[in-house]
Structure 1
Amino acid sequence: MFADSQVDGYDPHNQNVEVAAELFGMLSDPTRIRIVLILAGSERSVNEIAELLDRAPTTVSQHLAKLRMARLVTFRHEANRVFYRLANEHARQLVQDALHQSEHTTGEPLRHEDAREGES
């Protein structure tokens, strides 16, 4: 019935649509998107992330808690430090796809290396 309106076999009435909407809501904050980008490279401590974002560690911890609730990041303790990493590759891919879409919206590439390649 909805075969022509499906994406990868998901029909519009799939129960995960609401969960996906919550996930997009969780990623609607620019700081959380930046955290995902930082964690796409490697595992980082709260203080490292805070330094890279020029934000207070308590602020970063609050954002990480929300990302953890959404199961986008996981963590481990080492002594008195907490290290975060992406829960899986899908979180990185989701943010990457959103950034690619924003490039189409603005008409300007966000990745400088892509812009330089086009100039060659």
Structure 2
Amino acid sequence: MTTVTGLDGCATSHVHPEKVALAAAHAPDEGELARVTSVFKLIGDPTRARLLYALLEAGELCVCDLAAATATAEATVSQALRLLRASGVVTGRREGRNIFYRLSDAHVRLLLDVTREHALHDGAVR
């Protein structure tokens, strides 16, 4: 009889070698992993997440409207939007002296929707 030393340990290595090979073959490379985790870091900040959800609902807002909608200082909104824009999460459209921001594409919308749905799901870890 084999004894497992820890709760998360396995008694043998590679219980399912075909699944291990499949997971290893489809694992993201280091560059892709860095890009994915950087998106999660960006939306992991409460202020930036609040701004993104405001844009998700409203579609397009300028800095002053985003500040009002999220009860956030305009300077803070501008700083957050610079990061979000540089990462390609939001885009801006200039109209006169104003820039109107919106989510860059449907992928961002889907990510926000699915993340919120998961967080609010009854079985989600809190």
TM-score (norm 1): 0.76
Aligned length, in residue pairs: 103
Q: Gapped runs of 5+ residues in structure 2?
A: 1-19
Task: Give the Cα–Cα distance (whole angstroms) in 2 for the partners of residues 73 and 52 of structure 1.
Answer: 17
Please name the residue that 1:35 is paired with: 51
Indicate yes or no: 2:115 matched with 1:98.
yes
Matched, 1:22 2:47: no
CA distance in 1 between partners of 2:36 and 2:67 (Å): 27
Q: CA RMSD for the aligned pairs?
A: 2.0
Paired with 2:83 and 2:92, the residues of 1 have a C-alpha distance of 13
Report % sequence identity.
Answer: 29
**Corresponding residue of 2:8:** none
Kept after mapping to 1: 8 A contact 2:67/2:77: yes
State the 1:13 CA deviation.
3.5
Determine which structure has greater relative contact order: mean sequence separation of CA pairs < 8 Å that are 6+ residues apart, divided by chain length: 1
Cα offsets for 1:46-98 (capped at 9, x unmatched): 11000001111111011111111110000011111111011101111111111
What corresponds to 1:11 in structure 2? 26
Aligned residue in 2 for 1:60: 77
Partners in 2 of 1:92 and 1:34 — Cα distance? 13
SS in 2 for 1:74: strand
Amino acid of the structure 1 residue aligned with 2:54: I
SS at match of 1:93: helix
- Counterpart mapping for 1:65-104 below 5 A: 65-104=82-121
Where in structure 1 do 4 or more consecutive aligned residues deviate above 6 Å?
Answer: none
Counterpart code for 2:48: R
Q: Hey, what's the Cα distance between the residues in 1 that align with 2:115 and 2:43?
A: 10
Structure 1 portions without partners, runs of 5+: 108-120
Greater C-alpha radius of gyration: 2
